[in-house]
Amino acid sequence: MSKNKNLIKIKKPKNINTIFGLPAKTYTDHEFWKKECNTVLADGWLFVGFVHELLKAGDVVPIFIANKPILLAKNNNNEINAFHNVCSHRCLKLVDEKKNVGKAIRCPYHFWTYDLEGKLKAAPHIGGTNQHKPKGFNFSNHGLKPIRIHIWHDWIFINLSGKAKKFVDYAKPLIKKFEDTDFKKLKYAATLDFGKINSNWKFLIENFIEPYHVQFVHKTTTNQPLKDHYTIVDGICYGSGINVKKEDEKNSNALSVTSRYLSLFPNFIISNYFPNQIGVYLNVPISPGETIQKRIIYTSDGKNMTEEESNTAKKIWWNVHKEDHDICERLQEGRLSPASNQGGLLSPYWEKGVQAFQKLIIDATMKSYKVKKGKKNV
């Protein structure tokens, strides 16, 4: 058998302080991207949206993620459902923008119509002129294809393969870190919509979960010393944190407070800024070198931000994230060099979360090379 060119090879370290990262192709190669979409982004709980963006019955939000058109829709029972955003007739993408569709989702091509539960309600003239319900055509067999969904507070997750554990079991390492947080007090404060970033989605995750870069990249927007940071690795939850003395908090900007930066595999990011702010990031992978990112800012003490407070927070975080985005885009460009083929190096101390994340990527994608007997396609 021939050797499979898509197998991930990590260069073995010569000692424990020489750790190599993922090879360049895992950030640039289209074949690897396809495999990632069908494993990493399909088998776990993928973060896709926010409950507060679907307030009324008939609200729909389309999202293109993991190489697939997905549709979120709110029904008359105040429930949010997820569907493949494809008409059962000719497989046209049904909805192309966020809007309210009223009582039904209608395909613009031939007016096939579905209710908010995804059930097919009309297929005009399918059997001929005025033949709307021909004999033998079972409407119940041709509704929208549903996707497994879970709502955790304001955050919407889907499981494309349908094979993941129950969300509460899957996300247990993250959930237990918020046992002292009263999410009933969570209030929306602001949105930062960054649009398309020319970077692989993994760079955005890796950059967020390691504290090594903070005092260098964010030297003008934070005064959080590297020595005060620590790393967090707990199964599929990883990140970092910092404890800041109260006397330091009083004379510093919003980024110099006690903080936790956490990610749940594969793409959920949440940050907790004590005592009263939470940020959640939606990272939408759309190609090997492109990701759409949005951040929502919340208060966590039950109080609303004033307009001035909201504008101040948005300005600070916009500047911080633009610094990160510039770094991530340069990381992407760097992967075009043959010098990056072996993956670069990782800090054995500060980038433990990155190591954990990359191992999960390897484990997930390697599954697709295994056949039923446990052998690899080599």
The pLDDT, as a whole number, for residue 9 is 59
Task: Name the average pLDDT for the chain.
Answer: 91
| 129 and 187 share one domain | no
Does the pLDDT value for residue 136 go beyond 90?
no
- Asked whether residue 3 carries a pLDDT value surpassing 80, the answer given is no
Last residue of a domain, one of 150, 171, 196: 150
Does residue 64 belong to any structural domain of this protein?
Answer: yes
**Does 2 have pLDDT greater than 50?**
no
* Domain-located, residue 321: yes
Q: Are residues 66 and 128 in the same domain?
A: yes
* Rounded CA separation 209/238 (Å): 7
241 closest CA partner among 226, 223, 259: 259
- Asked if residue 35 belongs to a domain, the reply is no
Same domain for 190 and 319? yes
Q: Quick check: 167 pLDDT over 80? A: yes
22 closest CA partner among 11, 38, 31:
11
DSSP 283-310: EEEEETTEEEEEEEEEESSS-PPPHHHH
**Of 212, 279, 268, 216, whose CA–CA distance to 238 is shortest?**
268
Q: How far apart are CA 76 and CA 102, in angstroms?
A: 10
The residue from 131, 150, 169 where one domain ends is 150
Give me the pLDDT at residue 224, please.
Answer: 75
Mean pLDDT of 268-296: 96
Question: Which pTM does this prediction carry?
Answer: 0.91
How many whole angstroms separate alpha carbon 50 and alpha carbon 125? 38
Q: Are 26 and 331 in contact (CB under 8 A)?
A: no
Say what the pLDDT of residue 252 is: 47
* CB neighbour burial string for 15-42, b if at least 16 within 10 angstroms, e if fewer: eeeebbbbbbbbbbbeebbebbbbbbbb
Are residues 83 and 191 both part of a single domain? no
Residue in this structure with the two tokens 């484990």, named with its chain if needed: 363
Q: What is the mean pLDDT of residues 17-36?
A: 94
CA distance 163 to 239: 26
Hey, what are 214's tokens? 């903070």
* 146 plus 276 within the same structural domain: no
Domain membership of residue 166 (yes or no) is no
Is 346 inside any structural domain? yes
Domain boundary among 129, 150, 171: 150
**In 10 A of CB 200, how many CB atoms?**
26
Residue 89 sits in the same domain as residue 191: no
Q: Does 341 have pLDDT greater than 50?
A: yes
Average pLDDT over residues 67-80: 97
Confidence check: pLDDT of 378 > 50: no
CB atoms within 10 A of CB 47: 24
Regarding whether 301 and 185 lie in a shared domain, the answer is: yes
**Please, are residues 211 and 351 in contact by the beta-carbon 8 Å criterion?**
no
Same domain, 248 and 344: yes
Where residue 66 sits, what CATH number does that domain have? 2.102.10.10
Q: Do 132 and 186 fall within a single domain?
A: no
Q: Measure the CA–CA gap between 159 and 41, rounded to whole angstroms.
A: 8
Are 184 and 290 in the same domain?
Answer: yes
Amino acid, single-letter form, for residue 130? N
**233/310 same-domain check:** yes
- The kind and range of the H/E element at 148 are strand 146-152
Model pLDDT, residue 371 = 35
From the list 241, 244, 225, 222, the residue with the least C-alpha distance to 233 is 241
For residue 78, give the nearest of 104, 99, 57, 50 by alpha carbon.
57
Q: Give the span between the Cα atoms of 276 and 299, in whole angstroms.
A: 6
Q: How confident is the model at residue 16 (pLDDT cuts 50, 70, 90)?
A: low
Rounded to whole angstroms, how far apart are CA atoms 285 and 346? 23
Residue 144 falls inside a structural domain? yes
Q: Which domain holds residue 113?
A: 48-150
Q: What pLDDT is stored for residue 226 in this prediction?
A: 85
Note whether 326 and 195 are same-domain residues: yes
The confidence score (pLDDT) of residue 225 equals: 80
**Residue-wise over 296-324: b if at least 16 C-beta within 10 A, else e?**
bbbbbeeeebeeebbeebbeebeebbebb
Express each pLDDT in 219-276 by its tens digit. 888 777 888 899 999 999 999 999 887 655 554 454 678 889 999 999 999 999 888 9
Q: What percent of the chain has pLDDT over 90?
A: 79
- What CATH number is attached to the domain comprising 202? 3.90.380.10
Tens digit of each residue's pLDDT (9 = 90 or more) over 171-225: 999 999 999 999 999 999 999 999 999 999 999 999 999 999 988 888 888 777 8
Structural domain includes residue 194: yes
Provide the number of structural domains found in the chain.
Answer: 2
Spatial CB neighbours of 223, under 8 Å, sequence gap ≥ 6: 248, 252, 253, 255, 256
